[in-house]
Amino acid sequence: MSPTFPRRAATAVLTAALLVPLTACGSDTANSDSGAEPASSAPGAARTDLTVLAAASLTEVLKTAGAAYEKSHPGTRVTFSFAGSQELAAQVKQGVPADALVTADTRTMDGLKADTGTPEIIARNRLVIATAEGNPDGIDDLVDLADPELKVVLAAPEVPVGRYSKKILDARKITVKPVSQEPNVRAVLSKVELGEADAGIVYKTDAATAPDKVDAVEIPDAQNAVAEYPAAIVKTSKNTEAAAEFMAWLSSPGAQKILREAGFQQP
Does one domain contain both 137 and 222? yes
Compute the mean pLDDT over every residue in the chain, rounded to the nearest whole number: 87
Domain annotation covers residue 3: no
Q: Judge whether 192 and 251 are in contact, CB under 8 Å.
A: no
Of residues 58, 52, 109, 108, the one with CA closest to residue 76: 52
Express each pLDDT in 94-105 by its tens digit: 999 999 999 999
- Residue pair 165/145 in contact (Cβ under 8 Å)? The answer is no
Residues 133, 220: one domain? Answer: yes
| Predicted TM-score (pTM) of this structure | 0.81
154 and 202 belong to one structural domain: yes
Q: Are residues 233 and 222 in the same domain?
A: no
Residue 55 belongs to some domain of the structure: yes
For residue 143, is it within any domain? Answer: yes
Residues 142 and 178 placed together within one structural domain of the fold: yes
pLDDT in tens, 133-188: 999 999 999 999 999 999 999 999 999 999 999 999 999 999 999 999 999 999 99
From CA 1, how far away is CA 34, in angstroms rounded? 52
Residue 164 lies in a domain: yes
Question: Do residue 162 and residue 80 come from a single domain?
Answer: no
Q: Does residue 204 share a domain with residue 164? A: yes
pLDDT digits (tens, 9 = 90+) for 34-43: 333 343 445 5
Does residue 247 lie within any of the structural domains? yes
pLDDT at 206: 97
Q: How far apart are CA 8 and CA 16, in angstroms?
A: 12
147 with 118, same domain: the answer is no
Is 13 a domain residue?
no
Q: Domain check: are 195 and 136 in the same one?
A: yes
Provide the pLDDT confidence category of residue 2 given band limits of 50, 70 and 90.
very low
Q: 108-130: buried (b, 16+ CB within 10 Å) or exposed (e) per residue?
A: bbeebeebbbebeebbebbbbbb
Q: How many domains does the chain have?
A: 2
Give the domain extent around 210: 125-226
- 189 assigned to some structural domain: yes
The region of weakest confidence among 40-44, 201-205, 213-217 is 40-44
Residue 73 has pLDDT above 60, yes or no: yes
Percentage of the chain with pLDDT > 70? Answer: 83
Type of residue numbered 213: K
Residue 25 lies in a domain: no
User: Can you give the CATH number for the domain in which 135 is found?
Assistant: 3.40.190.10
pLDDT (0 to 100) of residue 11: 40
**Residue 7, H or E segment:** helix 4-31
| 14 or 104, greater pLDDT | 104
Q: Are residues 217 and 241 in the same domain?
A: no
pLDDT greater at residue 10 or residue 115: 115
Q: What is the arithmetic mean of pLDDT over 200-208?
A: 98
Residue 163 sits in the same domain as residue 184 = yes
Same domain, 90 and 166: no
pLDDT in the model for residue 46: 74
